[in-house]
């Protein structure tokens, strides 16, 4: 196992009715900016619950954060923070709203050009405003991690950043607020969490028994409960398990002390930057192809994955790896997520643009061995057509 530091300061408030507890979490006397998305929080009554809980606080609202949140929109919120003397931020929404809030929290206290935060991947962030979250879409893990992904539409760039200053102070996880999710977003959430686990697990053995065991349990939970969440959308225990699984998938726990990949994510971000394909769908396209392409370097973990996650134990090594890749693709398809580039209007000419974008963004040595160069990404994408 590799050396590691593990510290996750986010306070989780999990369960039914927990939005009411916001009143004890948001500092007394704070002037709060509530940040939300395109209107789901209003429609579903979550925003009303937040207002009720914070009736004794001074509240200002900023709505309109887009899925794949935009740099330009986030900067408008930064302006409002200055105008209104805001002291605390509260994100109410999915990963996009939480990611935007992290960026806003950092940009509000950054003296230079806020674009630096993204191009320099968060290294220039020395402080951020405090913020909490009310999660409405289990998927990204953003509610308990220090990462954020922001899109600059004009530049055609979707860039991640990370900063230890960008952990939420607290996150409220009420599974009942996820009942209103449409099937497409339930499926996206399950697939995104699945690939987060894979990016930290499917590399090469590092004698990390606990991390591997946790990862395998989380994967099996998603495989079992994902389709059930689509069939019985108002089953509390299914939603609660999916919500906690998605948080644990990317809160640092299973990634501590192990090699990590993230190539599917970096390639997937360029697909979204190209044509706004949902994040999770880009992953469902890239991952099966990448698993096939990288079957050499990932051999031992692919065999472990086949056995411990899919119970595939018969046949030659190659047969078992093929069966595990097929099962992975089948799982995404069973969740209603197509797994070919052509399903998202991407053909050979767009592959050039994706590969060039990876080069432009310096993403030329991806994967756990930093060995996936642009030509390898091209081969992976061509096999995904």
Catalog residues that contact ligand NZQ under the rule CB under 6 A.
Answer: 37-41, 44, 67-68, 93-97, 99, 136-137, 139-142, 145, 147-149, 177-178, 180-181, 185, 188, 192, 250, 265, 279
188 binds, options ligand NZQ, Zn ion, none, Cβ within 5 to 8 A by partner type: ligand NZQ
Shortest distance, position 269 Cβ to Zn ion, whole Å:
9
**Segment interacting with Zn ion, rule: CB under 5 A, options 129-137, 187-195, 235-243, 331-339:** 187-195
- Minimum Å gap between C-beta 154 and ligand NZQ is 17
Q: Among ligand NZQ, Zn ion, none, what does residue 199 contact (CB within 5–8 Å per kind)?
A: none
Give the β-pairing of 157-162 and 147-152. Answer: antiparallel
The C-alpha atoms of residue 139 and residue 376 are separated, in whole angstroms, by 28
User: Hey, what are 377's tokens?
Assistant: 């990404």
Size of the site for Zn ion (CB under 5 A): 1
Alpha helices in 294-373 (DSSP H): 299-310, 317-334, 348-360
CA distance 32 to 188: 30
Least distance to ligand NZQ, CB of residue 99, Å:
5
CA dihedral 84, 89, 95, 100 (to 10 degrees): 40
Largest CA distance in the chain: 66
- 101 binds, options Zn ion, ligand NZQ, none, Cβ within 5 to 8 A by partner type: none
CB nearer ligand NZQ, residue 289 or residue 308: 289
Question: DSSP 3-state helix, strand, coil percentages of the chain (rounded to 5)?
Answer: 50, 10, 35
Partner whose footprint covers residue 183, from ligand NZQ, Zn ion, none (CB < 5 to 8 Å by kind): none
- Closer to Zn ion at the Cβ: 192 or 261? 192
Cα 260 from Cα 109, distance rounded (Å): 31
Start-end of H helices in 20-148: 22-25, 40-43, 46-53, 71-84, 95-107, 115-119
Q: Is the distance from CB of 170 to CB of 135 less than 8 angstroms?
A: no
CB of 313 to ligand NZQ, least distance (A): 31
Per partner kind, with CB cut-offs from 5 to 8 A, the member of ligand NZQ, Zn ion, none near residue 181 is: ligand NZQ
Q: Which is nearer to ligand NZQ, 194 or 331 (CB)?
A: 194
Structure tokens at 211: 């991390």
Give the CB-nearest residue to Zn ion: 192
By beta-carbon proximity to ligand NZQ, the closer residue of 284 and 312 is 284
Give the other-Cβ count within 10 Å of 90's Cβ.
Answer: 27
Q: How far apart are the C-alpha atoms of 332 and 336, rounded to whole Å?
A: 7
Is 212 near Zn ion (CB under 5 A)? no
Cα–Cα distance, 329 to 340 (Å, whole number): 10
Choice between 93 and 320, CB closer to ligand NZQ: 93
Written as six digits, the tokens of 44 are 């579903």
96 binds, among Zn ion, ligand NZQ, none (CB under 5 to 8 A by kind): ligand NZQ
- Which residues does residue 61 pair with via DSSP β-bridges, in sequence order? 34
Q: CB-wise, 39 or 342, nearer to ligand NZQ?
A: 39
The yes or no reply on residue 192 touching Zn ion (CB under 5 A) is yes
**Environment class of 256 (CB within 10 Å of its CB; exposed 0-12, middle 13-18, buried 19+):** middle
CB of residue 380 to ligand NZQ, shortest distance in Å: 18
- The partner in contact with residue 8, picked from ligand NZQ, Zn ion, none with C-beta cut-offs of 5 to 8 angstroms by kind, is none
Q: How far is the CB of 50 from Zn ion (least distance, A)?
A: 26
34 binds, among ligand NZQ, Zn ion, none (CB under 5 to 8 A by kind): none
Nearer to Zn ion, 192 or 212 (CB): 192
Least Å distance, CB 178 to Zn ion, is 17
Interatomic CA distance for residues 172 and 108, integer angstroms: 23
Q: Write out the residues near Zn ion by the rule CB under 5 A.
A: 192
């Amino acid at each position: 196992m590799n050396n590691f530091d593990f510290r996750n300061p986010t306070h989780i408030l999990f369960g039914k009715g927990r939005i009411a507890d916001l009143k004890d979490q948001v500092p007394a006397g704070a002037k709060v900016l509530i940040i939300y998305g395109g209107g789901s929080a209003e429609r579903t009554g979550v925003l009303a619950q937040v207002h009720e809980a914070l009736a004794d606080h001074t509240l200002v609202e900023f709505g309109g954060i887009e899925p794949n949140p935009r740099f330009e929109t986030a900067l408008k919120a930064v302006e409002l923070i200055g105008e209104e003397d805001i002291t605390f931020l509260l994100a109410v929404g999915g990963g996009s709203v939480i990611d935007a809030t992290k960026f806003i929290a950092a940009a509000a206290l950054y003296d230079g050009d806020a674009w630096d935060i993204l191009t320099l991947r968060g290294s220039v962030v020395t402080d951020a405003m405090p913020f909490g979250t009310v999660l409405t879409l289990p998927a990204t893990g953003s509610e308990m991690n220090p990462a954020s992904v922001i899109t600059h539409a004009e530049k055609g760039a979707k860039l991640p950043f990370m900063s230890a200053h960008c952990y939420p102070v607290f996150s409220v996880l009420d599974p009942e607020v996820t009942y209103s999710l449409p099937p497409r977003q339930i499926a996206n959430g399950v697939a995104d969490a699945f690939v987060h686990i894979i990016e930290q697990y499917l590399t090469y053995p590092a004698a990390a028994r606990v991390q591997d065991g946790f990862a395998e349990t989380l994967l099996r939970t998603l495989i079992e409960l994902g389709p059930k969440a689509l069939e019985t959308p108002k089953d509390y225990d299914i939603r609660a398990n999916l919500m906690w699984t998605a948080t644990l998938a990317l809160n640092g726990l299973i990634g501590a002390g192990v090699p990590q990949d993230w190539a599917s994510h970096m390639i997937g971000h360029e697909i979204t930057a190209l044509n706004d394909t949902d994040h999770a769908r880009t992953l469902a396209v890239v991952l099966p192809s990448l698993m096939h392409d990288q079957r050499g370097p990932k051999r031992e973990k692919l065999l472990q994955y086949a056995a411990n996650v899919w119970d595939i134990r018969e046949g030659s090594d190659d047969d078992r790896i093929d069966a595990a890749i097929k099962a992975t693709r089948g799982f995404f398809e069973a969740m209603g997520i197509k797994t070919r580039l052509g399903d998202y209007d991407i053909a050979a000419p767009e592959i050039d643009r994706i590969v060039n974008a990876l080069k432009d963004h310096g993403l030329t040595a991806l994967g756990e061995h930093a060995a996936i160069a642009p030509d390898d990404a091209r081969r992976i994408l061509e096999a995904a057509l």
